[in-house]
Structure formats: structure tokens, C-alpha cells
A and B are shown apart, each in its own frame.
Chain A
Amino acid sequence: MPEQLLFAMEVILNGLMAGVLYSLVALGFVLIFKASGIFNYAQGVMALFAALTLVGIMEGQVPFSHLINAVFGTNIHEFGWQVPAVLAIILTIAVMVLLAIAVERFVLKHLVNQPEIILFMATIGLAFILEGFGDLMWGSEIKILDVGLPQGVSDIVETTTFGWFGYGFFIDKLDMVAAVIAVLLVILLTIFFKYTKQGRALRAVADDHQAALSVGISLRFIWVLVWSIAGIVALVAGMMWGAKSGVQFSLSLIALKALPVLILGGFTSIPGAIIGGLIIGVGEKLFEFSIGPLIGGATENWFAYVLALLFLVFRPQGLFGEKIIERV
């Protein structure tokens, strides 16, 4: 095979892997949008907050240490213990569930039946509050997240592909783990939505609040449930991004990359989020690889958004979204 083609294949593979990470973030958006029609602007910050909490717990950091030290004049920063990764993840999940309960209790409950734009604004507010809260709780310095996920280029892939084609593919091990986790997550979520009572209730709530109440579904419970799940998905996304590039506040900006993914895949489709993410990942890498050199590079910054714009013009509901039928 010609070198050029093999190189393109490698680019596609790397694009797929990068796409998985976009998909993970987009998935959180889809879940909340599906169940409550809210575009949760805070999803990216939730990923950041989850990652910060995970690192903080693992490192045995004292939460709010800056605040405590400032008020009481003490100088404590750490408990002096290390928490094993698995336990820390479980504790972080508990924190995300608490967050979901708090969001329902202090925000959503008071905004029932409000127009969607109000709810959207509320999530923008939530994003800022949560970002500040994460800062206050765990400090603002860049942290290294090491939950024991494999890092670096996979030797196995490189040697096998070298044996096959005489050309070794460079694939990041972490990306491969992320791909496997994303697949598992999608399977679990699909089973949950399709086959469980809670999943059915969730779809019902997404469709019509009044009707859902009339068949005995508690809206508040469903909201806590879906925000908890979105929190867990955010944790997974935050963990992957954090392991890749450190836990820092720019993490919350990856949420913006999820937007074109959502426009591509459709706001209400779980498979759509995944496939949209993959298309964006591959598309942006391939574009950079083929067209990039001709126009001076750095196409990855804008390619996704241009693609999303095109979709908005020709297929506004996305690839898998529910068809928009406006009846008059």
C-alpha cells in the first residue's frame, strides 16, 4: 500500500479516537436535553468539576482549604492520605448525585413550566456558579490526574500494523480506553432507556410533563435521576480529558466542541451523539491533513463549526434527531 494511504488511515483512526472524547461530552448534553428539553450549558463545567473532585479526593486535598485558612488563619491543605482510584471514583459519583439533588432543589423545582430559554439561562448561571465553586473547593492550579489509565503510544498496535503493512500506526492507549468506555456507556444507557421502568418514565417526562404526572411519574425524581446520570457521564468525560491534558479550567471549554457534535447528531439521539462526535473527530483530522497545508493549517479550530453550519442549513434536526414537523 502506498505510504500516503496508510498515513491517511492513521489520521482517520486518530480522528475516531479524538471523536470519542467529543462524543462523551456530547452524551451528557443529550441525556439532559432528552429528559427535560433543557440545553445544559453547564455540562462542560460539570465535567471539570467532576475531574477536580476526583483529583482532590484522590490526593487527599482538604476541600475549601483556602477559604478555611483565610477565615481561621490556619494552614491546612491536605489530609495527608491517598485515596485509591476506585474508591475516589465512587465518592465522586456520590458528589455528582448530591449536585443533581441540589440543582433540582434550588433551580429546576422553581422553574417548572417556564420557557426553555429561561431554563437555558439558568444553566448558564449554574455553569458560572459551579466553576467558581470548583475553584473555591479545590483551588485553581492545574492538576495531574492519574487514575491508572494506560498512557502513551500503544506498542502492540504499532508492531502489529508494522508487521502487516510495513508501517507502524501511532495510536494513543488512553484514546483506546476511552473508546471502549464510550461503547460500554452507550450500551448501558441504551438498555436503561429502552428496557427499564425508569427509562420509560424518563422518555415520558421528556415528551409531556402533564401526561407524565397523570400516569404517576414524579418529575422531581426523574430530574434528579437524569442529572445524576449526566453527572456520571461528565465524570467519565472529565476523567478522560483530564488524564490526557491535565485537569484545568480550560476543560470546561471542550463543551463548546460538543455543540457542533450535537448539531450533527441531533440533540435527542444517543447514537447520534456518538456518531456525530466520530464524524467531527475524523473530519477535522482529515481536513487538517489534506486541505490544511494548502490554506495555512490550524483548521481544527473552526472546521467543526463550519460543518455544523452546513448541517443547520440542510438538515437542522441532525442525522438522528427527531424530525421537526411544524403543523399549522
Chain B
Amino acid sequence: MPVAPRLTRRITSNAPCAALCAGVGLLLAGCASTTSSPTPTAVSARPSNIPVTKLVGRWGVASYREEKDRQRTEAQARSHCRQPYVIAKGPTDGVMMHVADDPKPYELTLKGGSDGKTYLGFEAPPGDPQDREIVSFNDNLMVMRWVSPDVNTRYGTFVYVRCK
């Protein structure tokens, strides 16, 4: 998987185009209407308090929208370890995961924001619309929500339970 650690990658839900862009290592900067124009990475990211390697592994994943559903969503996530979401170490210092509405995996990294929050996403400034915010994290359970309000409304808050 090509990686451009010094570039910001902005993709849209146009999966084929996004995949193409990823596949050629962002050389196609003018990928039509998807505004995938590389720009220098902002330097506002702080080191994350969470080692990115802690994300690597097999996780049961479920989502909820209302807090009342969180507990049973955790149980559902745990039960779906039979169909786990696998997070692998990326080629550089990130992990291979998906962003919303795109079936291609990308190398994402953890970023500390100036707001004290931790984000997971491309090497864009923390809090980028394609990022996830790490709501809570421990070795066996992590909760993330999409920064984009639209995506968060559509897919809800994700619960990851580490599979034994």
C-alpha cells in the first residue's frame, strides 16, 4: 500500500477514484473532482498518548447512536469476534484501516490534537473531517466517533472490543 507520510490525503466517497489515487501513490493529484490535491502536512499534531501498535489486532465492531444502546452494543461487538475487523501494522508508523464509505484500506495514524483529544486518520491536521476521534481507549476496548457530523449521524459511534 503506497504511503505518503508527508502529504495530506483528502479523499471522498468516490471509492474508485480514491482507490486509484492510493494505488498510484498520489501521483494523480488532479484526480478529477475528488479534490485530492496534496498539500504540506500541517504541524499542529502532537504525539498521541496511545501507542499506535495498541490498535493492532482483531476486533469485534459494532455501532450505536444513543448512549442507552452502548452497553448492549459492546456485547454485540464482542459477539462479532467471529467476524472480526483486523487492524494491521502499516508500512510506516500507522495502522491499516478504512475510512467511511471507502472499501480500500489506508494507513492511518494517531494524532494528538491541541484540544487534548486523540484522533485517528490521515496525516492531516488533527480533527480533519475524515478523522475519527478516540473517545475512550484501553487494551481491550476502544470507542471512536467520526469527526464529520454527517458520517457520525449515518454510522454512529463505533465500539471495538478486542477478540481473545
A binds B: no
Which A residues fall within an 8 A CB radius of B?
Answer: none
